[in-house]
Amino acid sequence: MVYIKSIIDKIFILLVLILSAESAFSQDNGSSCFYKHFTGTFDDNMSITVDLSAQNGKVTGFYYYYFPEPGNETVSYYGKTIPLEGIINANSIVLHEFSNEEANFTGEFEGNNKISGIWEKNEKEKPIPFDITEDYSKGSVSFTCFTFSDIRYAKKDGTAEESDPKAKIDIKLLYPELPAGNILKDSIDYKITGFILNKPESIESPELLLENIAFDFFDSYYRATDGIDDISSSASFNWEKDISVDVFYNENDIISLKINKYAFTGGAHGMLMIEYVVFDTEQKKRLLLKDILKDNFENELNSILDKKLRDLNGLKENENLREAGFFIDEITSSGNFYINNDGIGFFYNVYEIAPYSSGTTELFVKFNELTGLLKSNHPFNWMIND
């Protein structure tokens, strides 16, 4: 009887997912969900690169500008990468610099692949015009956005109210538009599924992947709540699962992906885990530190990271890290890193080097700080400003 009931519950979940698929699942390149890589002009003498990811009218992204050095057209000066956040309303878009809300881009979409408008720092300074167009010509890859969102209540008889215990899932997957059998696609598939599912496998259908994740989540929820007479007052049965795969950098034959997974299935608090992974699209493989740094780089790199960790936490040079609340005696480079135009960011999840209360730790090393460690054939020569 228990086995039969389990089969019935699984059929119930499957039917619910099928019936709700039209409203729960979204894939498009419109304002609902998209990723776009833009290049264009900024003022009269500067170029600009912008990466934008949008979902349900909310936008996040990054931009940087660059221009030729005066008197030397073969060398360019690159501004630092600046995070953006904002909103889309119909064909209008407003983007604020993450660390300075007074500085903003205001523009209009022309079709789906072009934005024109102005950048303003404040009311006293003259606005700067910009014009950007979707572009994947400089070693970039296009991505399609897939999302899945759904809620299931512990009460399956249709009498549940909004405040009753429920399981909620939200998934956003930016997936590269690469042909089946492509070596790079397989490498990306294995990293995404290995982190999200804890078992590397090929992604035959992004839609099916998201639906299977949701099915397993709701199946676990119903099995956990089955047979409990009254769970109305227990917050531990308000389960949540959030997964996202975002593009952190996408240019010059390099892709940096950011994979987030958060879960609350009862207990004191939920758990957020973040993994960054970098790919070389020309070599069609994952990029590791040993691919870009010289042999025996560890000690010098760890010394750089140690100083940054101490500066970040206000610690003296010889202050004991364990006595300061860390789980480690010394910091070491992490395989969890990303690359952008400015350098390499090393990321440490909660509990990895410090307690949950300390949160995550991110240590960023500029390329200029790594000039003695980078291999002679590294792909970042053009990024380094003397």
Domains and CATH numbers, the chain: 2-28+141-286 (3.30.565.40), 33-134 (2.40.128.620), 289-383 (3.90.640.20)
Largest CA distance in the chain: 83
Contact status, residue 245 vs residue 255, Cβ threshold 8 Å? no
Rounded to the nearest 5 degrees, what angle is found at the Cα of 347, between the Cα atoms of 342 and 350?
Answer: 155
How many angstroms separate the CA atoms of 266 and 240, rounded?
9
Percentage of the residues of the chain whose pLDDT score is greater than 70: 89
Amino acid at 377: N
Q: How confident is the model at residue 73 (pLDDT cuts 50, 70, 90)?
A: confident
Q: What pLDDT does 25 receive?
A: 47
What element of type H or E holds 258? strand 254-264
Amino acid at 165: P
Where is pLDDT greater, at 341 or 74?
A: 341
Contact status, residue 325 vs residue 317, Cβ threshold 8 Å? no
Segment 176-205, tens digit of pLDDT: 999 888 999 999 999 999 999 999 999 999
How many angstroms separate the CA atoms of 63 and 52, rounded?
9
Contact status, residue 372 vs residue 339, Cβ threshold 8 Å? no
Residue carrying structure tokens 């209540």 = 153
Q: 290 pLDDT exceeds 80?
A: yes
Which residue, 34, 62, 36, 27, is CA-closest to 48? 62
Burial of 377 (0-12, 13-18, 19+ CB in 10 A): exposed
b/e per residue, 117-153, with b = 16+ CB within 10 A? bebbeeeeeeebebebebbeeeebbebbbbbbbbebb
Rounded to the nearest 5 degrees, what angle is found at the Cα of 60, between the Cα atoms of 58 and 64?
Answer: 145
Contact status, residue 305 vs residue 327, Cβ threshold 8 Å? no
In this structure, the dihedral spanned by the alpha carbons of residues 192, 195, 200 and 202, taken in order and rounded to 10 degrees, is: -20
Q: What pLDDT does 204 receive?
A: 93
| Phi, psi for residue 176 in degrees, rounded to 5 | -65, 140
Query: Residue 164 gets which letter from DSSP?
Result: S
Adjacent-strand bridge partners of 172: 147, 244
Segment 199-224, tens digit of pLDDT: 999 999 999 999 999 999 999 999 99
Residue carrying structure tokens 């501004």 = 79
How many angstroms separate the CA atoms of 237 and 383, rounded?
49
Q: What pLDDT does 101 receive?
A: 77
CA dihedral (130, 134, 135, 136) positive or negative:
positive
Contact status, residue 63 vs residue 78, Cβ threshold 8 Å? no
Segment 1-56, tens digit of pLDDT: 444 445 445 554 555 554 444 445 444 334 479 999 999 999 988 999 999 999 98
Q: What pLDDT does 22 receive?
A: 45
Q: How many C-beta atoms surround the C-beta of residue 107 within 10 A?
A: 20
Q: What pLDDT does 381 receive?
A: 63
The per-residue pLDDT of the chain, averaged, comes to 89
Q: What pLDDT does 4 receive?
A: 46
Q: What are 338's two structure tokens?
A: 């990303």
